[in-house]
Structure 1
């Protein structure tokens, strides 16, 4: 019986733009990421399945733009004032999970409006489109114009 050899190839996590492999599948998303003046109201939703590089992109974009990063399920209304900068940038990851956390979807609704008021670029990542997020907010995600 043969025995498989294993190698410990652990290294630092790839988190910079130079570590990201640009392909035909993600080229357009990266081009749009670099043109925030084309984002509707300064907002961009980056969609993709698990393991497609959304978090990697969000990490290097946040670093390049001095943006804070926050998990959508951890959003709280009382923390938005400190989270959303004036004339800055913010990344909300896993936005598809806002319907699963108490208070997160209301916080997302207020964050959405506050980001426009403060001229803050808002990059969201999600595995599914807003219509599938299970939101119970009075305004549907389609009304958020993603």
Structure 2
């Protein structure tokens, strides 16, 4: 695990291999996370972005077996998380900038009022969007 001079986590990684567990052969699994933080005064402890590269394969892990996601965070003036955008780097190394998004609504006393999650799946130039109905307390 890596830390910066403010003792915030900047990276995590774990890689493991298991042989002969439920099938013949070796299962390789792992992840690498890279964290960046807001730069504005008063917001330096808030996450800005997480890059998430993970894999699970019977082969030796390569760039083609990795799943590469980015998570971008937005906060309101009170420091409440209001938006998370997840992007995904596809096999052709082009980034789909909105694989999913989550939005949060807060009241004046910083209580969560609603959460909305949207996922987008693109296949063969057609797009289907799945949206969960807004949930309120």
> What interval of TM-score do these two structures reach, taking the shorter chain for normalisation?
under 0.3
Q: Which has the higher contact order (CA 8 A, sep 6+)?
A: 1
TM-score normalised by structure 2 residue count: 0.24
TM-score, normalisation: structure 1: 0.23
Bigger Cα Rg: 2
Choose between structure 1 and 2: higher strand proportion: 2
| Structure showing the higher helix proportion among its residues | 1
